[in-house]
């Protein structure tokens, strides 16, 4: 499985600000995804990060709030914009090599105050 | 959207006991995955199931893909303290949706020595 590194691992941010989370993979992967895990909850898919084109967002998530970049096959960023306390969650990067298995980074624990 | 119902929500067992948890869905999935998440970490893939009726083992873990393609179970035999964590089932709805997963609510496992 690929080694997935996320930065930062945690952060505390002021409401109204934005945070960009980075995801670096040690090998080229076909698919990259971003998930959100709210406190005590399960994982919910935010979007598919498409290399060289705009991300594909799931219902309930929009580009203005969660802009995503994927400049190449090993790197992606997720920005959480204009944050409010409701955005406090763990944000997880996931990759899939073209089969159905998906592997996750360690997550970024975000607290908005 | 699709939902996975995972049960039980939590389990408190003695070391050495066997554990069983399951997931059901109202719609068909073509892949079932089981993950374990430790505190402060991302989910780690335990077992992947690709065919209806498939029974797969990984050490003390055994999982099955239900023949209706709407359910799966995970068994852990002879539990040990390091089995503590949150276990998630996840399903992939379509063979073209590589890595796009729907997650169950999770089962919190506590093992008493």
Of A95, A101, A107, the CB nearest to B33: A101
pLDDT by residue (tens digit) across A15-51? Answer: 999 999 999 999 998 889 999 999 999 999 999 998 8
pLDDT by residue (tens digit) across A88-103? Answer: 999 999 998 766 678 9
Report the pLDDT value the prediction gives residue A41, as an integer from 0 to 100.
92
Report the pLDDT value the prediction gives residue A27, as an integer from 0 to 100.
92
- Side-chain-side CA neighbours of B49 within 13 Å: the count stands at 31
- pLDDT band at residue B38, thresholds of 50, 70 and 90? very high
Residue with tokens 């400049």: A71
A31, A17 in Cβ contact below 8 A? no
Of A1, A102, A106, the CB nearest to B99: A102
Please enumerate residues of B whose Cβ is less than 8 A from a Cβ of A.
1, 30-31, 33, 35, 40-45, 48, 50, 88, 90, 92, 95, 98-106
Which tokens go with A67? 């802009």
Chain A residues lying within 8 Å of B90, measured CB to CB: 43, 102
CB contact under 8 A, A30 and B98: yes
The full DSSP string for A59-83 is TT--TTTS-EEEEETTEEEEEE-S-
CA distance A70 to B86: 30
Report the pLDDT value the prediction gives residue B95, as an integer from 0 to 100.
67
pLDDT by residue (tens digit) across B54-82? Answer: 999 999 999 999 999 999 999 999 999 99
Q: What phi and psi, each to the nearest 5 degrees, are found at residue A84? A: -125, 165
């Amino acid at each position: 499985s690929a080694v997935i590194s996320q930065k930062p691992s945690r952060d505390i941010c002021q409401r109204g600000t934005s945070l960009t989370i980075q995801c670096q993979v040690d090998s080229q992967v076909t698919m990259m995804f971003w998930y959100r895990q709210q406190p005590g909850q399960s994982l919910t898919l935010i979007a598919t990060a498409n290399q060289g084109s705009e991300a594909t967002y799931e219902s309930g998530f929009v580009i203005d709030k969660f802009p995503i970049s994927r400049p190449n096959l090993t790197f992606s960023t997720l920005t959480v914009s204009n944050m409010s306390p409701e955005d406090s969650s763990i944000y997880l990067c996931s990759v899939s090599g073209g089969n159905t298995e998906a592997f996750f980074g360690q997550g970024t624990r975000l607290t908005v105050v | 959207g699709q939902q996975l119902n995972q049960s039980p929500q939590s389990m408190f067992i003695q070391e050495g006991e066997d554990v069983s948890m399951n997931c059901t869905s109202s719609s068909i999935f073509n892949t079932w995955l089981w993950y374990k998440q430790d505190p402060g970490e991302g989910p780690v893939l335990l077992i992947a199931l690709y065919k209806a009726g498939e029974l797969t083992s990984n050490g003390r873990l055994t999982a099955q893909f239900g023949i209706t393609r709407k359910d799966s179970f995970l068994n852990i035999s002879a539990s040990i303290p390091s089995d503590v964590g949150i276990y998630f089932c996840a399903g992939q709805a379509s063979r073209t949706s590589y890595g796009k997963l729907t997650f169950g609510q999770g089962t919190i496992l506590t093992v008493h020595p």
